[in-house]
């Protein structure tokens, strides 16, 4: 990106954020037109009128909510919290490129992770069991391959995607439609805490902002904008996930959709996207092969990152459940009932684990609902 102009103090960006009725787009326009932004109270009224601002906007600029600014700064003083303003070097370049980037990002966790590369995964809040398993498995496989997984912390597909990335020690980002201190739904409070510890949580809304219906379509532009591509796992014909996919296309990002049964209403949104030109995805490697070129254009050097497995950012012990499942598979075909008996795991858990192992070339699904471990030299 070109010259961003002189750096502006965080407190000044926050004052703009808390100027009633002032949009982020207009705040950035003021910044670009004036070349810099002094404290809003010191802005010259004539200069503001000269760039086309009306008196109501000028009054808002000159009288921001100082209490809200101080509250934000106090919130960010606690460990693990921070605020990125638009001209901060850590502000993600990918978001600077979208038409309406937020001037302020509140975050929990490691802001350096925002550099990416990211893949967005979105879908229904009420997925089928297969949809949830696919989301978890694809996220796990793609995270192991080096992609961060970004989603919206919603119930259903979003939750499964975040959990899939975390299950293999990968990186995930939750983009909230609330303030950074409020998990929505509240049942995902623990998940949000784990993401903040091992990844990053971001929001353009100040601490204390509750869930509002209009916030979620707005946050979707950040989910798609942060990522090199958006994968819709399962979505009804009228779904918020389709908004994210549309925004991804408008932002010049790749759009992927996972097909499903023609009898599954949760697959109709994906089928609609495919008819409109989204790339049909049947395996995680379909995503990786398509993104290699896109990432080389979007983030220099990132294509090499995703074509080889990520070196984990911290030491991760092999998952004992996966090791136990690998041993339980034995040397020949084995049924799901036998695996339940040998491992003590439920069918749902085993189905998800087996799909991940199948995506990674460790297991082959056979006719009749049996599975076989793939060993060196065997024909997959």
pLDDT in tens, 338-371: 888 888 888 767 776 776 676 566 788 777 778 8
Q: pLDDT (tens digit, 9 = 90+) per residue, 167-188? A: 999 999 999 999 999 999 999 9
Which pLDDT tens digit goes with each residue over 262-283? 888 888 999 999 999 999 998 8
**Residue 62 CB-half CA count within 13 A:** 13
pLDDT at 364: 80
Question: Which parts of 189-239 fold into alpha helices (H)?
Answer: 189-198, 215-226
Cβ contact 121:147 at 8 Å: no
For the chain, residues classed under CATH 3.40.50.450 are 111-307
CB 160 within 8 A of CB 166: no
Maximum average pLDDT range among 88-97, 259-268, 299-308: 88-97
Global pTM value: 0.77
CA 94, 97, 103 angle in degrees (round to 5)?
90
Annotate 273-283 with b (16+ C-beta within 10 A) or e (fewer).
bbeeebbebee
Domain 111-307 has CATH 1.10.645.10: no
Which DSSP category does 253 fall into? Answer: -
Strand order in the sheet with 172-175: 81-85, 104-109, 200-203, 172-175, 148-151, 118-122, 229-232, 254-257, 279-280
Residue 224, pLDDT > 60, answer yes
Does the structure show a pLDDT above 50 at 7? no
* Intervals of CATH 1.10.10.10 along the chain: 320-373
Q: Which fold has domain 320-373?
A: Arc Repressor Mutant, subunit A (1.10.10)
Residue-level pLDDT at 355: 66
Q: Which of the four pLDDT bands, split at 50, 70 and 90, describes residue 333?
A: confident
Type and span of the H or E element at 336 = helix 336-343
């Amino acid at each position: 990106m070109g010259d961003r102009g002189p750096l502006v103090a965080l407190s000044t960006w926050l004052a703009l954020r808390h100027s009633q009725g002032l949009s982020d787009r207009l705040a950035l326009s003021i910044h670009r037109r004036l070349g810099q932004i002094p404290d809003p109270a010191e802005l010259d009224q004539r200069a503001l009128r000269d760039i086309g601002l009306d008196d109501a906007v000028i009054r808002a600029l000159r009288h921001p909510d100082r209490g809200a600014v101080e509250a934000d700064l106090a919130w960010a003083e606690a460990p693990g919290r921070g605020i990125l303003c638009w001209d901060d070097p850590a502000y993600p370049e990918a978001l600077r490129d979208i038409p309406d980037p937020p001037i302020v990002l509140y975050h929990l966790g490691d802001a350096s992770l925002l550099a990416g590369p990211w893949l967005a995964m979105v879908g229904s809040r009420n997925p089928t069991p297969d949809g949830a398993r696919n989301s978890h498995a694809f996220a796990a496989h793609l995270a192991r391959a080096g992609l961060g997984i970004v989603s919206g912390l919603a119930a259903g597909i979003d939750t499964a995607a975040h959990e899939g990335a975390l299950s293999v020690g990968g990186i995930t980002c939750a983009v909230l439609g609330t303030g950074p201190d409020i998990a929505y739904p509240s049942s995902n409070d623990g998940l949000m805490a784990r993401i903040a510890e091992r990844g990053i949580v971001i929001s353009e809304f100040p601490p204390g902002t509750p869930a509002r219906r209009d916030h979620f379509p707005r946050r979707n532009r950040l989910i798609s904008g942060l990522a090199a591509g958006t994968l819709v796992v399962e979505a009804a014909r009228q779904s918020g996930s389709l908004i994210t996919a549309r925004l991804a296309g408008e932002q010049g990002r790749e759009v992927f959709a996972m097909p499903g049964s023609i009898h599954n209403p949760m697959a109709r949104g994906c089928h609609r996207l495919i008819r409109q030109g989204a790339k049909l995805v049947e395996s995680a490697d379909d995503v990786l092969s398509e993104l290699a070129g896109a990432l080389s254009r979007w983030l220099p050097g990132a294509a090499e990152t995703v074509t080889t497995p990520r070196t984990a950012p911290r030491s991760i012990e092999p998952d004992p459940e996966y090791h136990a499942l690998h041993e339980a598979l034995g040397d020949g075909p084995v049924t799901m009932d036998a695996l339940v008996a040998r491992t003590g795991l439920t069918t749902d858990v085993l189905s998800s684990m087996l799909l991940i192992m199948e995506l990674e070339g460790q297991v082959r699904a056979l006719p009749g609902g049996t599975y076989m471990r793939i060993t060196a030299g065997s024909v997959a």
